[in-house]
């Protein structure tokens, strides 16, 4: 597969600023407004942080409340991580600027007994968006659903439906995905549905994120980031 850069989409598409220094410049003003964008990168490269900054900046600087749906970290882990960056998620939650929903999918708790869909997730996300009047959504990392449910066919069809639904609702969405063997995400999300994809590959935004680190640590982080395919 050819390497994809964050390429500017047609100029006619309105942009939603991320407020992340460097990223808004290389993307020609931000992410496509009202549409989903996939952020792909190797493990530990800062996809969650990028998504978090996108959401917090939206809520605090651009008057766009947002819903963070996390499928991996717990709400508390996320809040703690955010605090280390100087964000007070609890306060933003109390002010109804953001809403964090931790989606737990434990294979050990779930039995599949017949035909199902992800209707629960749609209702849940829709309700969160409505509660806040949200303009931004983060799904981090939705592919975790594949470890909780075994029917990949259903999941793929439902994710396709979900991305369409998000677009219809007009919320600017960041979907994170971890790079897998030879593809942008483990389950090939970008193949499930045509979606603008931002490959998280380093410098500009990461510099800001790791700003508190020493030079030695920065080098270390840089090496780790470059380890991806």
Partner 1 sequence: MLRLYVTGMTPRSAQAIANIRSLCEEHLRGLYALQVIDIYQHPQLTRMEQIVAAPTLVKRLPLPLRRMVGDLSDRERVLLGLDLREARR
List residues near partner 1 by CB under 8 A: 101, 103-105, 109-121, 123-124, 126-128, 145, 148-149
Q: For residue 105, which of 68, 142, 67, 76 has the smallest C-alpha distance?
A: 142
Smallest separation, CB 155 to partner 1 (Å)? 10
CB of 176 to partner 1, least distance (A): 18
Q: Give Dmax over CA atoms of the chain in angstroms.
A: 54
**Nearest residue (CB) to partner 1, 113 versus 214:** 113
Compute the CA torsion angle 154, 74, 41, 153 (nearest 10 deg): -10
In the β-sheet with 172-178, what is the strand arrangement from edge to edge?
98-102, 66-70, 136-140, 172-178, 36-41, 197-199
User: Alpha-carbon distance 69 to 160, whole Å?
Assistant: 17
Q: Based on CB atoms, which residue is closest to partner 1, 91 or 110? A: 110
CB of 16 to partner 1, least distance (A): 25
Nearer to partner 1, 123 or 220 (CB): 123
CB nearer to partner 1: give 8 or 120. Answer: 120
Q: Give the number of other Cβ atoms within 10 Å of residue 127's Cβ.
A: 13
CB of 75 to partner 1, least distance (A): 11
């Amino acid at each position: 597969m050819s390497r994809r850069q964050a390429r500017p989409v047609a100029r006619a598409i309105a942009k939603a600023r991320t407020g992340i220094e460097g990223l808004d410049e290389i993307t020609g003003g931000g992410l496509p407004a009202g549409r989903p964008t996939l952020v792909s990168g190797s493990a530990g490269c800062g996809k969650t942080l990028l998504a978090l900054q996108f959401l917090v900046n939206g809520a605090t600087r651009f008057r766009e409340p947002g819903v963070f749906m996390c499928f991996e970290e717990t709400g508390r882990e996320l809040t703690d991580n955010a605090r280390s960056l100087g964000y007070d998620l609890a306060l933003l939650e109390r002010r109804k600027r953001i809403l964090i929903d931790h989606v737990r999918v434990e294979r050990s708790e779930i039995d599949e007994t017949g035909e199902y869909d992800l209707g629960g997730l749609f209702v849940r996300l829709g309700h969160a968006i409505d509660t806040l009047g949200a303009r931004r959504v983060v799904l981090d990392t939705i592919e975790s659903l594949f470890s909780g449910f075994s029917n990949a066919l259903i999941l793929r069809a439902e994710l396709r439906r979900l991305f369409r639904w998000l677009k219809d609702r007009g919320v600017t969405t960041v979907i994170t995905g971890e790079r897998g063997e030879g593809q942008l995400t483990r389950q090939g999300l970008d193949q499930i549905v045509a979606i603008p994809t931002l490959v998280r590959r380093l410098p500009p935004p990461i510099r800001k994120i790791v700003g508190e680190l020493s030079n030695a640590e920065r080098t270390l982080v840089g090496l780790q980031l470059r380890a991806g395919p």
